[in-house]
Amino acid sequence: MRPHVTPAQLRAGFDSPRSRTSMAVQVADHAVRGLHVFAAVAGLYNPVFESTHLRGCHLSVHPGPCCVPSPACDRRSVLRLLSGVTVAATATGIGIGVPQAASAAALTKEERDKLTPAGVIELLAQGNERFRTGKSQPHDYLAQKRASAGGQYPAAAILSCIDSRAPAEIILDARIGDMFVARIAGNIINDDLLGSLEFACAAAGAKVVVVIGHSACGAIKGAIDGVELGHLTALLGKIRPAVAATEYAGERTSKNADFVDAVARTNVMRTVQDIRQRSGVLAALEKDGKIRISGAMYQLVGGRVEFLG
């Protein structure tokens, strides 16, 4: 049976040092049980429970409703365990900004404003590293929704392709409220998207604009092949200059994956230049060091995002 502290015990025995110690252990025990479950869910069990200073304390999980401390688990070991799990849980929850326990909070204005453009790029790179190595943070989306409902302070504005295999928020391991995301086939730029990016940076305070292309892009292949289909024809026409501008000595067809990816990279950098040339607002912000406009390529195989500068 799980120890239970009754109201009568609290009233009658609280002033006793022995009772206070007993109740402290029971409180710590209940807290550790909850954190034990959280640690297992969050993937923290092994590094925390196997660390040197916690080896004297183990919890065994039974089919019943509780976890029972072993006899070797004394009060000090329990408290060390409680501290260790708490520190480890806090350290894992990193989105864009500062560490957040359980990845439940949204980026605040104060946190976002402290970031530099270079710092935001680094945080995006760290998020992608977590994603591609299978260590993405546990997301409490309901809590993030509640935390961001009163206002949004994204640190980045992403312009990426509509490809279903390249969702920016996921491949960069971001929370709700961390970034603006605009998507269009072939990650090209137009007046409406320019206006959206100007809003993101000049009005809402985002610190970077990142144009993300990806490997094996269907829009790039269509542009190489000269595909014509309704409104898609005009869109692919905006990509074709990148085909002509790509220096490549091998087979220049959509069947050559290396050529397709080379054109995709050229297309990304042409989009970056188009943004700078066509938006005086964003160009001025970048010149003043307030934002950074960058390109990136996402590899469908392997999951790495390479930032191109």
Interval 262-288: pLDDT, tens: 999 999 999 999 999 999 999 999 999
Tell me what the pLDDT averaged over the chain comes to: 79
Identify which of 57-66, 86-95, 123-132 has the greatest average pLDDT: 123-132
Question: Average pLDDT, stretch 81-88?
Answer: 40
The predicted pLDDT at position 200 comes to 98
pLDDT: which is higher, 44 or 97: 97
* List of domains in the chain: 7-92 (no CATH), 101-307 (3.40.1050.10)
The pLDDT, as a whole number, for residue 264 is 98
Of the ranges 25-39, 210-224, 276-290, which one carries the lowest mean pLDDT score?
Answer: 25-39
Q: Give me the pLDDT at residue 171, please.
A: 98
User: Could you write out the DSSP letters of every residue in the chain?
Assistant: ------HHHHHHHTTSHHHHHHHHHHHHHHHHHHHHHHHHHHT-HHHHHTSGGGTT--EEE-SSS-EEE-TT--HHHHHHHHHHHHHHHHHH-B-SSSB-GGG-SPPPHHHHHH--HHHHHHHHHHHHHHHHTT-PPPP-HHHHHHHHTT----SEEEEE---TT--HHHHTTPPTTSEEEEE-GGG---HHHHHHHHIIIIIT---EEEEEEETT-HHHHHHHHT---TTHHHHHHTTHHHHHH---SS--STT-HHHHHHHHHHHHHHHHHHHHHH-HHHHHHHHTTS-EEEEEEE-TTT-PEEE--
- pLDDT score of 195: 98
pLDDT of 76 strictly over 80 = no
Tens of pLDDT, residue by residue over 135-145, are 999 999 999 99
Supply the pLDDT for residue 105: 85
Count the neighbouring beta carbons within 10 Å of the beta carbon of residue 307: 16
Per-residue pLDDT band at 6 (split at 50, 70, 90): low
pLDDT of residue 95: 67
pLDDT of residue 17: 46
Residue 114: count of CB within 10 angstroms of its CB? 11
Task: Quick: pLDDT tens for 182-204.
Answer: 999 999 999 999 999 999 999 99
pLDDT tier, 309 (very low <50, low <70, confident <90, very high otherwise): confident
pTM over 0.75: no
Query: Given this model, what pLDDT does residue 60 score?
Result: 36
